[in-house]
Amino acid sequence: MSDTLKSGQRVLHVDSKNYYGGNWASFSFSGLLSWIKENQQKTDTDECEDWKKLILETEEVISLSKKDKTIQHVEDFCFGDQDSAEDVEEAGALPKLPVFGAPGAEGVAQESEKECPPVESALPEAESQEPDKATGTEPASATAGHDAEITSENESSPSTALGKPTLELGKTEAAPSEISAQEPKKITYSQIVREGRRFNIDLVSKLLYSRGLLIDLLIKSNVSRYAEFKNATRILAFREGKVEQVPCSRADVFNSRQLTMVEKRMLMKFLTFCLDYEQHPDEYQGNYENSTFAQFLRTRKLTPSLQHFILHSIAMVSETDCSTLEGLQATKKFLQCLGRYGNTPFLFPLYGQGEIPQCFCRMCAVFGGIYCLRHSVQCLVVDKESGRCKAIVDHFGQRISANYFIVEDSYLSESVCTKVCYRQISRAVLITDQSLLNTDSEQQVSILTVPPVDPGKPAVCVIELCSSTMTCMKDTYLVHLTCPSTKTAREDLEPVVQKLFNLNPEKEAVNEELEKPRVLWAVYFNMRDSSGVEKSSYDGLPSNVYVCSGPDSALGNDCAVKQAETIFQEMFPAEEFCPAPPNPEDIIYDEDEIVPEESGFSNSPETKPESATEESSSGDSAAVKKEDNEE
């Protein structure tokens, strides 16, 4: 939406939820518990249908869904010491409002997801005297705490991106937790609840390729000013029941003690070939054009361990479904991303992946975008003669007119999606007491691909985050597991969890179990993957209504960036996508621009309600109306 505003348009974003980002959002621990409860106890809402009287005879409506059906099979478990946590309050949480307060305000106060990001860049303030406020969620200070506690680590140093502005690579140490410091290895459930604001738990788990489309977009649009990033410090592999670190850079390969000298030479030779494989088509075309990448690797005189490293930890592709060409492209992408910001190809945004959509929200707000949370939309209003959508009707009965409408897939009704075949993503989030692979440094951001046990099953991507990413409390780790769904999330992912972690802390365990990280808390859920659905699959949508999907199962963010650019170019083919914004000091205001002007969104006078208060909980739409040409 920020790119639309820069192109001279006006943007209104209405969302039924009380937080930004939809399924891209991140939550504190208490916020996630509320989200779990909401999705486990989905109830039908009684909606007033008085708005139907507002529809003219020359118009028809496309009703929007009142329930979010993108999340299913939500199951959460507590494996830690379950001492009484009923009376435990989250440190730094807002006090409860009295009974005579605004309706619903108490629940909102208790939730600590970052609902209202500021529209200005983060303030370079010193660390707050109250550590619990470091990840506060009050609208006025949502990013003030994000710049706190930034120190430099020796793990890897950021490098300049070929003359481009560099991203801020935040090197953070988690704020001290007094309770955790007293018992660093004995974490109880009440401690997790009390330190809940230290957690920023993403609904979707992704990393940013250092030369990926999203990084280039963040730099080009200057949205990177609103975020900080940390390097993923290591790539892990799971082989023969053990977790080990994979050497991927040239220095790692030659310093590795896992590989023999012969294996080092073989690996470097193959990786060098992958960097310019297009120059040697005879080596991968012909006999290998229709073979899988795994079959191709077997012909390259690589040892089984090297084949495993390349397939699952470097290319990160399927052993059965990935073609030779796709595997070479994935390997080349991995290698090209090495060294830009660190020793691995990946970056992770501090405070979680949910910061990324909020960054674009802030940029949009700077240029005048309007965001309305807890504001549902009943329907799209379509003109029968032209077949174009002309307005939306919100839950107040207001008609809001616009030229273009962008709707997230989850808000379309079943009647519109009868021809759509959705995929599903299996997700699990764990809170553990130690790392998958302990080293001298506890502050590691690791990525691990666990190959499938049974042929045809998908591999599981595991991302382990330490406290310096500002996503979990000290002495804990936040672990995300993701794979395309074949069954429920628990059925897909629990076998992998059992291999890597200890789920029975209360029982006597053998030495092998004691060495594994102990799971303190876990949640499993399935998320709809609506990426790749063609617009023609939706039944009866007008030409000026565009559908954006939720998250996909891929590790990177290329799909979302491509989709955003495609939608923008279809609406405004002559405009540049996400151009660099001007510096504030370079903006010259005319006298006419200073005078308050009418909104670019019109409310039909005959349908404008007498009064409107702000509360709602279902439906979503984004409306864009082209600004009048004043120049």
What is the SS3 assignment for 220-263?
HHCHHHHCCEEECCEEEEEECCEEEECCCCHHHHHHCCCCCHHH
- Are the C-beta atoms of residues 436 and 448 closer than 8 Å to each other? yes
- Are the C-beta atoms of residues 16 and 620 closer than 8 Å to each other? yes
Residues with Cβ < 8 Å from 379, sequence gap 6 or more? 51, 61, 62, 63, 64, 392, 393
Q: Which parts of 256-372 fold into alpha helices (H)? A: 261-275, 293-298, 304-308, 324-337, 355-366
CA triple 392-618-93, angle to 5 deg: 130
Burial 232-242 (b: 16+ CB within 10 A, else e): bbbbbbbbeee
Residues with Cβ < 8 Å from 213, sequence gap 6 or more? 556, 557, 558, 561, 562
Which residue type is seen at 175?
A: A
Q: How far apart are CA 454 and CA 449, in angstroms?
A: 15
- CA neighbours closer than 13 Å in the CB half-sphere of residue 537: 16
CA triple 526-532-536, angle to 5 deg: 120
DSSP-assigned letter for residue 10: E
Please spell the DSSP secondary structure of 155-224, one letter per residue.
S-----BTTBPPP-B--B-PPP-HHHHHSTT--BHHHHHHTGGG--EESS---EETTSHHHHHHHHHTGG
**pLDDT digit string, tens, across residues 50-106:** 777 778 889 899 999 988 899 999 999 998 666 655 666 777 665 544 433 344 444
Residue 540's alpha-carbon distances to 61, 384, 387, 544, in angstroms, are 11, 12, 10, 12
Host H or E run for residue 339: none
Which residue, among 458, 507, 501, has the nearest Cα to 479 in the 3D structure? Answer: 501
Burial 193-214 (b: 16+ CB within 10 A, else e): bbbbbbbbbbbbbbbbbbbbbb
Q: How far apart are CA 506 and CA 79, in angstroms?
A: 9
Which residue type is seen at 413?
A: S
Which residues of the chain fall short of a pLDDT of 50? 96-165, 172-184, 594-600, 604-631
Pairing of strands 234-239, 9-15: unpaired
Residues across the chain: 631
Which residue, among 27, 47, 65, has the nearest Cα to 380 in the 3D structure? Answer: 65
**pLDDT digit string, tens, across residues 387-424:** 999 999 998 888 999 999 999 999 999 989 988 999 99
Host H or E run for residue 362: helix 355-366
**Beta-bridge partners for 484:** 425
3-state SS assignment for residue 591: helix
Q: How far apart are CA 284 and CA 298, in angstroms?
A: 12
Token pair 């945004």 is at which residue? 349
pLDDT of the residue at 169: 64
Pairing of strands 229-231, 620-626: unpaired
Q: How far apart are CA 217 and CA 341, in angstroms?
A: 16
**Beta-bridge partners for 450:** 460
pLDDT of the residue at 172: 46
Spatial strand order in the sheet of 234-239: 71-78, 519-529, 423-432, 477-484, 460-465, 446-450, 234-239, 242-245
